[in-house]
Chains A and B, each alone.
Chain A
């Protein structure tokens, strides 16, 4: 999926992950995507949002207000000191016997995450990223840029990303117009309906792609490559998988065995 984003856009996605982790969230939602757009060197989207008066700190505060912090996955040194435990001393002793970094939180539940240990996308953030790629394509760009990611987030009305912007006094329409001004192009307000995309074999949920879609209209549900870009595309109920992803899956299973 990530090869369809520019380096800068990818950086904002990585930043989104870090923000989600820092909040102790175990998933990547549209709210995190929005927050990621403020990352250092975050490109046009960050600039557009700043110009609209949206601050990263305000977005973060809203997320915490709505969702809250999840339980931290690292011990709190100050809290431990209050009951007489010196976390640094414990860390030193543990590292003496188990090696450096032994006390760092383990990568939990890796299997449930993607192959690169990224947090799982929520259905809405997945849709936002799909919209980003589609919008990029509609605007004649192979790879999605940060502004396309923003447009993708804006396209998911029910997502927390849009809700937070609204709470901060920014209408999606306003943000879309701001992007259009920067890009100097008319931005499609809405992509195709999900039903239309399902018909074209761009699978969402369990909506079955009909059998008559041509290979060029089917894509791997995992990496997003089109049927014409892969050697083999295997169909399941509502999903497809290409031979590369099957290999990757096998490698992961083998490694974790």
Chain B
């Protein structure tokens, strides 16, 4: 009972944070040329690694539902128009939590080299799936699909290499699984949302590959950093720098 009540409340609270970040636009971190990196999926990831895949899925549901409602009631751009469709806004977000949790559990016992190989493998599997889907729904030239799949695998592989970079930098294996889970969750968000946009032909596939890389990769990195910092502060995990920097 104790666990259950806590899970319910944490889910509610993380959902509120996601809504808050979206509604006040604090969750939009400006990037280049007017584009922004979003962090509304980070509460989903944190909920998943702290309380499990079901809680992660629930918070993902809240995130998705809110982006749908916001798109409908207070639209400010083309993305809002697309998000009114639940297959674009809700279904991909349901998957963020469970994937992040899986990545979290999975990476706890692995070494970096293995992560690299596995993510490459996951990248290929995801690419194949997307290619098959596109054959069914797209009917476009397959070279264009290949561009997208290349984009996704780049995101997967490159983001893991970034991870390796800060693994070196931080030298702390406790935070590593959190960073990996965040990258997995963020990439899931990017990949699935973009895929659904592609299936509905809202964006041409060529563009999707570019967006996945230019937007998806940095988004994954900042999601990882934010997740790691929050979890470290909340759980009192010490980092490699075992003292104040003063």
Q: Do A and B come from one complex?
A: no
> CB within 8 Å of A: which residues of B?
none
